Structure 1
Amino acid sequence: MGASVAKKDDDTPIGPTGRPYRGFPTPPKLDTHGPARIISLCNQKGGVGKTTTTINLAASLASYGRKVLAVDFDPQGALSAGLGIQTHESPTIYDLLLDTKRDPADVIVHTATENLDVIPANIDLSAAEVHLVNEVARETILSRVLRKVAPHYDVILIDCQPSLGLLTVNALTASHGVLIPLECEFFALRGVAMLIETIDKVRDRLNPTIELDGVLATMYDPRTLHSREVLERVVEAFGDDVLETVIGRTVKFPDASVSGMPITEFAPQHAAAQAYLRLARELIARGAVA
Protein backbone atom coordinates (compact mmCIF):
# COMPACT_ATOMS: atom_id res chain seq x y z
CA MET A 1 0.00 0.00 0.00
CA GLY A 2 1.43 3.36 -0.94
CA ALA A 3 1.18 6.61 0.96
CA SER A 4 -1.78 8.77 0.01
CA VAL A 5 -1.31 12.07 -1.80
CA ALA A 6 -3.74 14.94 -1.25
CA LYS A 7 -4.06 18.13 -3.25
CA LYS A 8 -4.13 21.82 -2.39
CA ASP A 9 -6.75 24.15 -3.82
CA ASP A 10 -4.37 24.92 -6.71
CA ASP A 11 -4.07 21.17 -7.48
CA THR A 12 -0.51 20.97 -6.13
CA PRO A 13 -0.03 17.39 -4.86
CA ILE A 14 0.65 17.25 -1.12
CA GLY A 15 2.46 14.25 0.33
CA PRO A 16 1.77 12.57 3.68
CA THR A 17 4.33 14.82 5.41
CA GLY A 18 2.26 17.89 4.46
CA ARG A 19 4.78 19.21 1.94
CA PRO A 20 4.40 19.54 -1.85
CA TYR A 21 4.91 16.10 -3.38
CA ARG A 22 7.97 15.92 -5.61
CA GLY A 23 8.85 12.97 -7.80
CA PHE A 24 12.63 13.55 -7.69
CA PRO A 25 14.37 13.05 -11.04
CA THR A 26 15.98 9.82 -12.15
CA PRO A 27 19.67 10.34 -11.34
CA PRO A 28 22.27 10.15 -14.09
CA LYS A 29 24.69 7.23 -14.15
CA LEU A 30 28.07 7.80 -12.51
CA ASP A 31 31.23 7.96 -14.63
CA THR A 32 33.44 6.89 -11.73
CA HIS A 33 32.84 5.13 -8.41
CA GLY A 34 33.94 5.79 -4.85
CA PRO A 35 34.97 6.68 -2.30
CA ALA A 36 31.85 5.56 -0.47
CA ARG A 37 29.70 7.66 1.79
CA ILE A 38 28.88 5.51 4.82
CA ILE A 39 25.34 5.66 6.26
CA SER A 40 24.11 3.89 9.39
CA LEU A 41 20.47 2.89 9.59
CA CYS A 42 19.87 3.20 13.27
CA ASN A 43 17.06 3.00 15.83
CA GLN A 44 17.33 1.24 19.18
CA LYS A 45 13.70 0.15 18.91
CA GLY A 46 13.24 -3.12 17.07
CA GLY A 47 10.69 -3.76 14.35
CA VAL A 48 10.73 -0.28 12.82
CA GLY A 49 11.93 -1.31 9.36
CA LYS A 50 15.72 -0.89 9.58
CA THR A 51 16.59 -4.14 7.82
CA THR A 52 13.77 -3.84 5.29
CA THR A 53 14.94 -0.33 4.49
CA THR A 54 18.61 -1.31 4.25
CA ILE A 55 17.83 -4.14 1.81
CA ASN A 56 15.46 -2.20 -0.40
CA LEU A 57 17.30 1.12 -0.34
CA ALA A 58 20.51 -0.73 -1.24
CA ALA A 59 18.80 -2.51 -4.14
CA SER A 60 17.17 0.73 -5.30
CA LEU A 61 20.48 2.64 -5.28
CA ALA A 62 22.11 -0.28 -7.10
CA SER A 63 19.40 -0.12 -9.77
CA TYR A 64 20.44 3.50 -10.40
CA GLY A 65 24.01 2.40 -11.09
CA ARG A 66 25.46 3.03 -7.64
CA LYS A 67 27.91 0.45 -6.30
CA VAL A 68 26.50 -0.47 -2.90
CA LEU A 69 27.87 -2.43 0.04
CA ALA A 70 25.36 -3.43 2.72
CA VAL A 71 26.88 -4.34 6.10
CA ASP A 72 24.83 -6.66 8.29
CA PHE A 73 25.69 -5.40 11.79
CA ASP A 74 22.96 -7.20 13.70
CA PRO A 75 23.61 -10.62 15.31
CA GLN A 76 20.15 -11.72 14.14
CA GLY A 77 21.52 -11.70 10.59
CA ALA A 78 18.18 -10.62 9.13
CA LEU A 79 19.75 -8.61 6.32
CA SER A 80 21.84 -11.59 5.22
CA ALA A 81 18.81 -13.88 5.33
CA GLY A 82 16.66 -11.32 3.53
CA LEU A 83 19.08 -11.43 0.61
CA GLY A 84 19.29 -15.21 0.60
CA ILE A 85 22.82 -15.42 2.01
CA GLN A 86 23.83 -18.49 4.02
CA THR A 87 26.11 -17.53 6.92
CA HIS A 88 26.59 -20.67 9.00
CA GLU A 89 29.89 -21.81 7.51
CA SER A 90 31.17 -18.62 5.88
CA PRO A 91 33.21 -15.77 7.39
CA THR A 92 31.26 -12.72 8.59
CA ILE A 93 31.71 -9.18 9.86
CA TYR A 94 32.56 -10.73 13.25
CA ASP A 95 35.75 -12.21 11.78
CA LEU A 96 36.76 -8.81 10.41
CA LEU A 97 36.21 -7.12 13.77
CA LEU A 98 38.38 -9.68 15.57
CA ASP A 99 41.14 -9.56 12.94
CA THR A 100 41.34 -6.10 11.37
CA LYS A 101 44.31 -7.24 9.25
CA ARG A 102 42.06 -9.68 7.43
CA ASP A 103 41.09 -8.70 3.88
CA PRO A 104 37.36 -7.76 3.78
CA ALA A 105 37.27 -9.10 0.20
CA ASP A 106 37.37 -12.59 1.75
CA VAL A 107 34.08 -11.88 3.50
CA ILE A 108 32.16 -9.79 0.95
CA VAL A 109 29.37 -11.69 -0.82
CA HIS A 110 28.17 -10.66 -4.29
CA THR A 111 24.37 -10.87 -4.38
CA ALA A 112 22.08 -11.71 -7.27
CA THR A 113 21.31 -7.99 -7.50
CA GLU A 114 23.75 -6.22 -9.81
CA ASN A 115 25.96 -3.63 -8.03
CA LEU A 116 24.95 -4.88 -4.57
CA ASP A 117 27.42 -6.64 -2.25
CA VAL A 118 27.02 -7.68 1.38
CA ILE A 119 29.22 -8.26 4.41
CA PRO A 120 27.06 -10.81 6.23
CA ALA A 121 26.54 -11.48 9.94
CA ASN A 122 25.28 -14.26 12.16
CA ILE A 123 24.77 -14.95 15.85
CA ASP A 124 28.56 -14.92 16.44
CA LEU A 125 28.37 -11.12 16.32
CA SER A 126 26.57 -11.14 19.67
CA ALA A 127 29.93 -11.98 21.29
CA ALA A 128 31.71 -9.04 19.68
CA GLU A 129 31.00 -6.52 22.45
CA VAL A 130 32.60 -8.83 25.02
CA HIS A 131 35.69 -9.33 22.85
CA LEU A 132 36.06 -5.67 21.93
CA VAL A 133 35.51 -4.11 25.34
CA ASN A 134 39.22 -4.27 26.25
CA GLU A 135 40.52 -3.26 22.82
CA VAL A 136 42.35 0.04 22.34
CA ALA A 137 40.20 2.50 20.36
CA ARG A 138 37.41 -0.09 20.39
CA GLU A 139 34.88 2.41 18.99
CA THR A 140 36.83 2.75 15.72
CA ILE A 141 37.31 -0.91 14.79
CA LEU A 142 34.51 -1.01 12.19
CA SER A 143 35.80 2.25 10.72
CA ARG A 144 39.20 0.64 10.17
CA VAL A 145 37.56 -2.33 8.43
CA LEU A 146 35.40 -0.22 6.10
CA ARG A 147 38.22 2.15 5.23
CA LYS A 148 39.78 -0.68 3.20
CA VAL A 149 36.73 -1.18 0.96
CA ALA A 150 35.30 2.35 0.78
CA PRO A 151 37.22 3.28 -2.41
CA HIS A 152 35.38 0.55 -4.35
CA TYR A 153 31.80 1.65 -3.53
CA ASP A 154 29.60 4.72 -3.83
CA VAL A 155 27.65 4.06 -0.65
CA ILE A 156 27.96 1.71 2.33
CA LEU A 157 24.78 1.06 4.33
CA ILE A 158 25.13 -0.35 7.86
CA ASP A 159 22.12 -2.19 9.26
CA CYS A 160 22.50 -1.63 13.01
CA GLN A 161 21.11 -3.81 15.76
CA PRO A 162 18.25 -2.46 17.93
CA SER A 163 20.57 -1.24 20.68
CA LEU A 164 22.75 1.74 21.58
CA GLY A 165 25.67 -0.45 22.68
CA LEU A 166 29.25 -0.71 21.48
CA LEU A 167 28.36 -2.13 18.05
CA THR A 168 26.05 0.79 17.29
CA VAL A 169 28.65 3.29 18.53
CA ASN A 170 31.13 1.60 16.17
CA ALA A 171 28.70 2.05 13.28
CA LEU A 172 28.10 5.72 14.11
CA THR A 173 31.82 6.36 14.47
CA ALA A 174 32.42 4.86 11.02
CA SER A 175 29.59 6.78 9.34
CA HIS A 176 29.24 10.05 7.51
CA GLY A 177 25.47 10.07 8.01
CA VAL A 178 22.61 8.48 9.90
CA LEU A 179 19.21 7.50 8.55
CA ILE A 180 16.57 6.86 11.24
CA PRO A 181 13.68 4.60 10.18
CA LEU A 182 10.77 5.47 12.44
CA GLU A 183 7.57 3.46 12.65
CA CYS A 184 4.41 5.57 12.55
CA GLU A 185 3.39 4.43 16.01
CA PHE A 186 3.40 6.43 19.24
CA PHE A 187 5.85 4.30 21.23
CA ALA A 188 8.38 4.45 18.40
CA LEU A 189 8.66 8.20 19.02
CA ARG A 190 9.71 7.85 22.63
CA GLY A 191 13.22 6.49 22.06
CA VAL A 192 14.27 8.85 19.29
CA ALA A 193 15.43 11.57 21.71
CA MET A 194 17.84 9.05 23.29
CA LEU A 195 19.13 8.09 19.84
CA ILE A 196 19.69 11.74 18.88
CA GLU A 197 21.53 12.23 22.18
CA THR A 198 23.79 9.26 21.36
CA ILE A 199 24.50 10.68 17.88
CA ASP A 200 25.39 14.04 19.48
CA LYS A 201 27.79 12.33 21.93
CA VAL A 202 29.47 10.44 19.08
CA ARG A 203 29.79 13.73 17.17
CA ASP A 204 31.35 15.47 20.17
CA ARG A 205 33.76 12.71 21.17
CA LEU A 206 34.48 10.41 18.24
CA ASN A 207 33.21 11.57 14.85
CA PRO A 208 32.74 15.34 14.44
CA THR A 209 31.60 15.04 10.81
CA ILE A 210 28.57 12.76 11.31
CA GLU A 211 25.27 14.20 10.04
CA LEU A 212 21.61 13.30 10.33
CA ASP A 213 20.66 12.39 6.77
CA GLY A 214 16.99 12.08 7.59
CA VAL A 215 14.14 10.51 9.49
CA LEU A 216 12.20 8.00 7.38
CA ALA A 217 8.59 7.33 8.33
CA THR A 218 7.83 3.61 7.92
CA MET A 219 4.80 1.34 8.31
CA TYR A 220 2.52 4.27 7.55
CA ASP A 221 -1.18 3.52 7.16
CA PRO A 222 -3.08 6.58 5.89
CA ARG A 223 -6.39 4.92 6.81
CA THR A 224 -5.70 5.26 10.54
CA LEU A 225 -5.87 8.50 12.48
CA HIS A 226 -3.05 7.23 14.70
CA SER A 227 -0.59 6.90 11.81
CA ARG A 228 -1.47 10.34 10.49
CA GLU A 229 -1.14 11.97 13.92
CA VAL A 230 2.22 10.33 14.62
CA LEU A 231 3.56 11.49 11.25
CA GLU A 232 2.39 15.03 12.01
CA ARG A 233 4.24 14.94 15.34
CA VAL A 234 7.39 13.62 13.67
CA VAL A 235 7.31 16.51 11.16
CA GLU A 236 6.73 18.98 14.01
CA ALA A 237 9.72 17.59 15.91
CA PHE A 238 12.21 17.15 13.06
CA GLY A 239 11.02 19.53 10.32
CA ASP A 240 12.97 19.25 7.09
CA ASP A 241 14.99 16.34 8.47
CA VAL A 242 11.90 14.19 7.84
CA LEU A 243 12.22 12.70 4.38
CA GLU A 244 9.34 13.36 2.01
CA THR A 245 9.23 9.71 1.03
CA VAL A 246 7.02 7.66 3.34
CA ILE A 247 7.02 3.86 3.40
CA GLY A 248 3.55 2.32 3.69
CA ARG A 249 2.61 -0.83 5.59
CA THR A 250 2.22 -3.91 3.38
CA VAL A 251 2.36 -7.71 3.59
CA LYS A 252 4.64 -7.73 0.54
CA PHE A 253 7.72 -7.04 2.69
CA PRO A 254 7.71 -10.38 4.58
CA ASP A 255 6.84 -12.16 1.33
CA ALA A 256 9.91 -10.64 -0.32
CA SER A 257 12.10 -11.52 2.69
CA VAL A 258 11.03 -15.17 2.53
CA SER A 259 11.98 -15.21 -1.16
CA GLY A 260 15.42 -13.76 -0.34
CA MET A 261 14.88 -10.84 -2.71
CA PRO A 262 14.48 -7.06 -2.41
CA ILE A 263 10.90 -5.97 -2.99
CA THR A 264 12.11 -3.96 -5.99
CA GLU A 265 12.77 -7.32 -7.68
CA PHE A 266 10.10 -9.44 -6.00
CA ALA A 267 7.23 -7.06 -6.87
CA PRO A 268 8.74 -4.17 -8.88
CA GLN A 269 5.39 -2.54 -9.73
CA HIS A 270 4.12 -2.60 -6.14
CA ALA A 271 3.71 0.78 -4.41
CA ALA A 272 6.24 -0.24 -1.73
CA ALA A 273 8.90 -0.96 -4.36
CA GLN A 274 8.19 2.38 -6.01
CA ALA A 275 8.48 4.09 -2.60
CA TYR A 276 11.98 2.72 -2.07
CA LEU A 277 13.05 3.77 -5.55
CA ARG A 278 11.73 7.22 -4.70
CA LEU A 279 13.67 7.17 -1.42
CA ALA A 280 16.87 6.41 -3.35
CA ARG A 281 16.17 9.33 -5.70
CA GLU A 282 15.42 11.63 -2.75
CA LEU A 283 18.66 10.78 -0.95
CA ILE A 284 20.63 11.37 -4.15
CA ALA A 285 18.79 14.68 -4.66
CA ARG A 286 19.57 15.70 -1.06
CA GLY A 287 23.26 14.90 -1.53
CA ALA A 288 23.33 12.05 0.99
CA VAL A 289 24.41 9.69 -1.82
CA ALA A 290 26.48 10.51 -4.89
Structure 2
Amino acid sequence: MPDIPEMGPTGRPRRTFPEPKRLKTHGPARIIALCNQKGGVGKTTTTISLGAALAEDGRRVLAIDFDPQGALSAGLGVATHDVPTIYDLLLSRSKDPKDAIQSTGVPGLDVIPANIDLSAAEVHLVNEVAREQILAGVLRRVAADYDVILIDCQPSLGLLTVNALTASHGVLIPLECEFFALRGVALLIETIDKVRDRLNPAIELDGILATMYDSRTLHSREVLERVVDAFGDSVLETVIGRTVKFPDASVSGTPITQFAPDHPASRAYRQLARELVFRGAVA
Protein backbone atom coordinates (compact mmCIF):
# COMPACT_ATOMS: atom_id res chain seq x y z
CA MET A 1 0.00 0.00 0.00
CA PRO A 2 1.56 3.36 -1.02
CA ASP A 3 2.53 5.85 1.68
CA ILE A 4 -0.03 8.59 2.24
CA PRO A 5 1.81 11.95 2.09
CA GLU A 6 1.62 14.23 5.10
CA MET A 7 -0.59 17.23 4.34
CA GLY A 8 0.47 20.79 5.11
CA PRO A 9 -1.79 23.56 6.47
CA THR A 10 -2.79 24.64 2.94
CA GLY A 11 -4.22 21.18 2.20
CA ARG A 12 -1.38 20.22 -0.15
CA PRO A 13 1.22 17.52 0.49
CA ARG A 14 3.91 18.89 2.78
CA ARG A 15 7.30 19.18 1.09
CA THR A 16 10.71 20.64 1.74
CA PHE A 17 12.12 22.96 -0.89
CA PRO A 18 15.75 22.32 -1.86
CA GLU A 19 18.61 24.55 -0.83
CA PRO A 20 19.14 26.94 -3.73
CA LYS A 21 22.35 26.95 -5.72
CA ARG A 22 24.84 29.66 -4.86
CA LEU A 23 24.95 32.48 -7.39
CA LYS A 24 28.17 33.05 -9.33
CA THR A 25 27.19 36.61 -10.26
CA HIS A 26 24.83 39.15 -8.71
CA GLY A 27 22.16 41.47 -10.08
CA PRO A 28 20.17 42.96 -11.58
CA ALA A 29 17.67 42.75 -8.73
CA ARG A 30 14.14 41.50 -8.95
CA ILE A 31 12.00 43.97 -6.99
CA ILE A 32 9.23 42.63 -4.75
CA ALA A 33 6.68 44.78 -2.91
CA LEU A 34 5.29 43.36 0.34
CA CYS A 35 1.87 44.88 0.34
CA ASN A 36 -1.41 44.79 2.25
CA GLN A 37 -3.53 47.80 3.12
CA LYS A 38 -4.43 46.23 6.46
CA GLY A 39 -1.95 46.86 9.24
CA GLY A 40 -0.58 44.25 11.60
CA VAL A 41 -0.51 41.36 9.13
CA GLY A 42 3.23 40.72 9.23
CA LYS A 43 4.59 42.79 6.32
CA THR A 44 7.56 44.21 8.21
CA THR A 45 8.35 40.96 10.01
CA THR A 46 8.24 39.14 6.68
CA THR A 47 10.44 41.71 4.93
CA ILE A 48 13.08 41.44 7.66
CA SER A 49 12.95 37.67 8.08
CA LEU A 50 12.70 36.85 4.37
CA GLY A 51 15.53 39.24 3.58
CA ALA A 52 17.73 37.62 6.23
CA ALA A 53 16.87 34.11 5.01
CA LEU A 54 17.67 35.01 1.40
CA ALA A 55 20.96 36.54 2.52
CA GLU A 56 21.79 33.29 4.32
CA ASP A 57 21.35 31.54 0.98
CA GLY A 58 23.91 33.80 -0.66
CA ARG A 59 21.60 36.43 -2.15
CA ARG A 60 22.41 40.13 -1.97
CA VAL A 61 19.32 41.78 -0.55
CA LEU A 62 18.28 45.42 -0.20
CA ALA A 63 15.28 46.16 2.03
CA ILE A 64 13.43 49.45 1.49
CA ASP A 65 11.59 50.89 4.48
CA PHE A 66 8.60 52.53 2.76
CA ASP A 67 6.49 53.12 5.87
CA PRO A 68 6.70 56.40 7.83
CA GLN A 69 6.52 54.41 11.06
CA GLY A 70 10.04 53.16 10.33
CA ALA A 71 9.40 49.73 11.83
CA LEU A 72 11.64 47.96 9.32
CA SER A 73 14.54 50.24 10.17
CA ALA A 74 14.00 49.72 13.91
CA GLY A 75 13.67 45.97 13.44
CA LEU A 76 17.05 45.88 11.73
CA GLY A 77 18.68 48.19 14.27
CA VAL A 78 19.69 50.95 11.83
CA ALA A 79 19.72 54.71 12.32
CA THR A 80 16.77 56.72 10.98
CA HIS A 81 17.58 60.30 12.06
CA ASP A 82 20.32 62.60 10.82
CA VAL A 83 20.97 60.17 7.97
CA PRO A 84 19.73 60.11 4.34
CA THR A 85 16.41 58.25 4.04
CA ILE A 86 14.11 57.08 1.27
CA TYR A 87 12.20 60.37 1.70
CA ASP A 88 15.29 62.35 0.67
CA LEU A 89 15.75 60.17 -2.41
CA LEU A 90 12.12 60.64 -3.50
CA LEU A 91 12.38 64.42 -3.28
CA SER A 92 15.75 64.94 -4.95
CA ARG A 93 17.15 63.14 -7.98
CA SER A 94 20.54 64.75 -7.26
CA LYS A 95 21.01 62.55 -4.18
CA ASP A 96 22.82 59.26 -4.74
CA PRO A 97 20.76 56.29 -3.41
CA LYS A 98 24.00 54.55 -2.43
CA ASP A 99 24.56 57.26 0.19
CA ALA A 100 21.34 56.19 1.96
CA ILE A 101 22.12 52.46 2.06
CA GLN A 102 23.08 51.12 5.49
CA SER A 103 24.49 47.69 6.24
CA THR A 104 22.84 45.53 8.91
CA GLY A 105 24.02 42.84 11.29
CA VAL A 106 23.16 40.27 8.61
CA PRO A 107 25.87 39.83 5.97
CA GLY A 108 24.36 40.41 2.54
CA LEU A 109 21.34 42.36 3.83
CA ASP A 110 21.30 46.16 3.45
CA VAL A 111 18.55 48.68 4.09
CA ILE A 112 17.43 52.16 3.04
CA PRO A 113 15.70 53.54 6.16
CA ALA A 114 12.63 55.70 6.66
CA ASN A 115 11.26 57.90 9.39
CA ILE A 116 8.19 60.05 10.03
CA ASP A 117 9.31 62.53 7.32
CA LEU A 118 8.04 60.02 4.75
CA SER A 119 4.46 60.83 5.80
CA ALA A 120 4.83 64.16 3.97
CA ALA A 121 6.00 62.56 0.73
CA GLU A 122 2.54 62.16 -0.81
CA VAL A 123 1.86 65.89 -0.41
CA HIS A 124 5.18 66.81 -2.04
CA LEU A 125 4.83 64.29 -4.88
CA VAL A 126 1.23 64.93 -5.86
CA ASN A 127 2.13 67.66 -8.37
CA GLU A 128 5.22 65.92 -9.77
CA VAL A 129 5.32 64.71 -13.36
CA ALA A 130 5.10 60.89 -13.50
CA ARG A 131 4.69 60.90 -9.72
CA GLU A 132 3.87 57.16 -9.63
CA GLN A 133 7.29 56.29 -11.09
CA ILE A 134 9.64 58.21 -8.81
CA LEU A 135 10.59 55.22 -6.63
CA ALA A 136 11.25 53.15 -9.75
CA GLY A 137 13.78 55.77 -10.85
CA VAL A 138 15.52 55.60 -7.47
CA LEU A 139 15.76 51.80 -7.43
CA ARG A 140 17.03 51.57 -11.01
CA ARG A 141 20.22 53.27 -9.80
CA VAL A 142 21.06 50.49 -7.30
CA ALA A 143 19.39 47.41 -8.81
CA ALA A 144 22.59 46.16 -10.44
CA ASP A 145 24.23 45.66 -7.02
CA TYR A 146 21.57 43.28 -5.61
CA ASP A 147 19.75 40.06 -6.41
CA VAL A 148 16.46 41.09 -4.78
CA ILE A 149 14.99 44.33 -3.46
CA LEU A 150 12.17 44.01 -0.91
CA ILE A 151 9.87 47.00 -0.35
CA ASP A 152 8.05 47.12 2.99
CA CYS A 153 4.90 49.10 2.11
CA GLN A 154 2.79 51.11 4.51
CA PRO A 155 -0.75 49.86 5.32
CA SER A 156 -2.44 52.00 2.66
CA LEU A 157 -3.30 52.01 -1.03
CA GLY A 158 -2.15 55.61 -1.48
CA LEU A 159 0.49 57.17 -3.70
CA LEU A 160 3.45 55.62 -1.88
CA THR A 161 2.06 52.10 -2.30
CA VAL A 162 1.28 52.79 -5.96
CA ASN A 163 4.91 53.92 -6.36
CA ALA A 164 6.06 50.63 -4.83
CA LEU A 165 3.81 48.59 -7.15
CA THR A 166 4.94 50.57 -10.18
CA ALA A 167 8.60 49.92 -9.30
CA SER A 168 8.13 46.19 -8.66
CA HIS A 169 8.34 43.04 -10.72
CA GLY A 170 6.26 41.10 -8.19
CA VAL A 171 3.99 41.45 -5.17
CA LEU A 172 3.97 39.30 -2.05
CA ILE A 173 0.83 39.65 0.07
CA PRO A 174 1.22 38.70 3.74
CA LEU A 175 -2.25 37.77 4.98
CA GLU A 176 -3.14 37.27 8.62
CA CYS A 177 -5.30 34.18 9.14
CA GLU A 178 -8.19 36.25 10.42
CA PHE A 179 -11.53 36.98 8.76
CA PHE A 180 -11.25 40.78 8.56
CA ALA A 181 -7.80 40.52 6.95
CA LEU A 182 -9.31 38.27 4.28
CA ARG A 183 -11.92 40.85 3.28
CA GLY A 184 -9.37 43.34 1.95
CA VAL A 185 -7.43 41.01 -0.32
CA ALA A 186 -9.85 41.37 -3.24
CA LEU A 187 -9.48 45.17 -3.11
CA LEU A 188 -5.70 44.89 -3.06
CA ILE A 189 -5.65 42.53 -6.03
CA GLU A 190 -7.97 44.94 -7.87
CA THR A 191 -5.42 47.71 -7.21
CA ILE A 192 -2.60 45.51 -8.51
CA ASP A 193 -4.65 44.86 -11.67
CA LYS A 194 -5.14 48.62 -12.18
CA VAL A 195 -1.42 49.24 -11.79
CA ARG A 196 -0.74 46.46 -14.30
CA ASP A 197 -3.19 47.98 -16.80
CA ARG A 198 -2.07 51.61 -16.45
CA LEU A 199 1.48 51.80 -15.11
CA ASN A 200 3.39 48.52 -14.92
CA PRO A 201 2.33 45.76 -17.34
CA ALA A 202 5.07 43.42 -16.07
CA ILE A 203 3.96 43.19 -12.43
CA GLU A 204 3.05 39.70 -11.19
CA LEU A 205 1.48 38.29 -8.05
CA ASP A 206 4.32 36.26 -6.53
CA GLY A 207 2.10 34.79 -3.88
CA ILE A 208 -0.15 35.15 -0.84
CA LEU A 209 1.62 34.28 2.40
CA ALA A 210 -0.52 33.10 5.31
CA THR A 211 0.81 34.62 8.55
CA MET A 212 -0.09 34.44 12.25
CA TYR A 213 -1.54 30.97 11.67
CA ASP A 214 -2.65 29.03 14.74
CA SER A 215 -3.50 25.43 13.92
CA ARG A 216 -5.22 25.06 17.30
CA THR A 217 -8.07 27.39 16.33
CA LEU A 218 -10.88 26.51 13.96
CA HIS A 219 -10.97 30.15 12.83
CA SER A 220 -7.38 30.10 11.53
CA ARG A 221 -7.92 26.81 9.73
CA GLU A 222 -11.17 28.01 8.13
CA VAL A 223 -9.67 31.31 6.94
CA LEU A 224 -6.69 29.54 5.38
CA GLU A 225 -9.03 27.06 3.68
CA ARG A 226 -11.09 29.92 2.22
CA VAL A 227 -7.96 31.68 0.95
CA VAL A 228 -6.77 28.51 -0.79
CA ASP A 229 -10.26 27.95 -2.27
CA ALA A 230 -10.30 31.52 -3.62
CA PHE A 231 -6.71 31.91 -4.85
CA GLY A 232 -5.48 28.35 -5.42
CA ASP A 233 -1.79 28.01 -6.26
CA SER A 234 -1.24 31.73 -5.65
CA VAL A 235 -1.24 30.81 -1.95
CA LEU A 236 2.27 29.85 -0.94
CA GLU A 237 2.79 26.46 0.67
CA THR A 238 4.86 28.02 3.44
CA VAL A 239 2.73 29.18 6.37
CA ILE A 240 4.03 31.42 9.17
CA GLY A 241 2.78 30.51 12.62
CA ARG A 242 1.92 32.88 15.45
CA THR A 243 4.64 33.24 18.09
CA VAL A 244 5.79 35.70 20.76
CA LYS A 245 9.35 35.41 19.42
CA PHE A 246 8.66 37.96 16.69
CA PRO A 247 8.22 41.00 19.00
CA ASP A 248 11.19 39.81 21.06
CA ALA A 249 13.35 39.76 17.92
CA SER A 250 12.10 43.21 16.90
CA VAL A 251 13.07 44.70 20.24
CA SER A 252 16.56 43.22 19.86
CA GLY A 253 16.92 44.80 16.39
CA THR A 254 17.78 41.47 14.76
CA PRO A 255 15.87 39.12 12.42
CA ILE A 256 14.32 36.08 14.05
CA THR A 257 16.67 33.90 11.96
CA GLN A 258 19.52 35.29 14.08
CA PHE A 259 17.61 35.88 17.33
CA ALA A 260 16.26 32.32 17.52
CA PRO A 261 17.82 30.42 14.60
CA ASP A 262 16.35 27.04 15.53
CA HIS A 263 12.82 28.29 16.25
CA PRO A 264 10.03 26.96 13.96
CA ALA A 265 9.40 30.55 12.75
CA SER A 266 13.01 30.82 11.58
CA ARG A 267 12.71 27.52 9.75
CA ALA A 268 9.46 28.72 8.18
CA TYR A 269 11.09 31.86 6.77
CA ARG A 270 14.00 29.85 5.41
CA GLN A 271 11.41 27.60 3.77
CA LEU A 272 9.68 30.72 2.35
CA ALA A 273 12.96 31.98 0.86
CA ARG A 274 13.56 28.63 -0.81
CA GLU A 275 9.98 28.39 -2.05
CA LEU A 276 10.29 31.79 -3.74
CA VAL A 277 13.54 30.69 -5.39
CA PHE A 278 11.85 27.42 -6.42
CA ARG A 279 8.94 29.38 -7.93
CA GLY A 280 11.32 31.69 -9.82
CA ALA A 281 10.33 34.81 -7.90
CA VAL A 282 13.95 35.18 -6.72
CA ALA A 283 17.12 34.23 -8.59
Tell whether the 8 Å contact from 1:185 to 1:230 is kept in structure 2 after alignment.
yes
2:108 is the alignment partner of 1:115: yes
* Maintained 8 Å contact 1:65/1:115: yes
2:70 aligned residue: 77
Corresponding residue number in structure 1 for 2:90: 97
1:106 & 1:157 partners in 2: Cα distance? 18
Distance 2:15 2:199 in 1: 36
Among 201, 208, 214, which residue is 2:207 paired with?
Answer: 214
Compute the displacement of 1:86 (Å): 1.8
Does 1:183 pair with 2:207? Answer: no
Give the corresponding residue for 1:286. 279
Any gaps of 5 or more consecutive residues in structure 2?
A: none
How far, CA to CA, are the matches of 1:222 and 1:86 in structure 2?
A: 37
Q: Deviation of residue 45 (structure 1)?
A: 0.1
Once the 2 structures are TM-superposed, how far is the Cα of residue 101 of structure 1 from its aligned partner?
2.5
TM-score normalised by L of structure 2: 0.99
Work out the percentage of aligned pairs sharing the same amino acid: 80
CA contact (8 A) 1:41 1:178 kept: yes
CA contact (8 A) 1:100 1:141 kept: no
How far did residue 100 of structure 1 move?
A: 1.8
TM-aligned CA deviation for residue 256 of structure 1: 0.2
1:10: Cα distance to partner?
2.9
Structure 1 unaligned blocks of 5 or more: 1-8
C-alpha displacement of 1:88: 1.5
The count of residues paired between Structure 1 and Structure 2 equals 282
| CA-to-aligned-CA distance 1:21-65 (integer Å, 9 cap, x gap) | 110000111000000000000000000000000000000000000
1:228 is aligned to 2:228: no
| In structure 2, distance between residues paired with 1:75 and 1:12 | 45
Matched, 1:167 2:160: yes
Residue identity in the other structure for 2:72: L
Query: 1:172 Cα shift?
Result: 0.1
Q: TM-score, normalised by structure 1?
A: 0.96
Match of 2:264? 271
- How far has the Cα of 1:89 moved from its partner? 1.3
Matches of 1:241 and 1:112, distance apart in 2: 32
Q: Alpha carbon RMSD of aligned pairs, Å?
A: 0.7
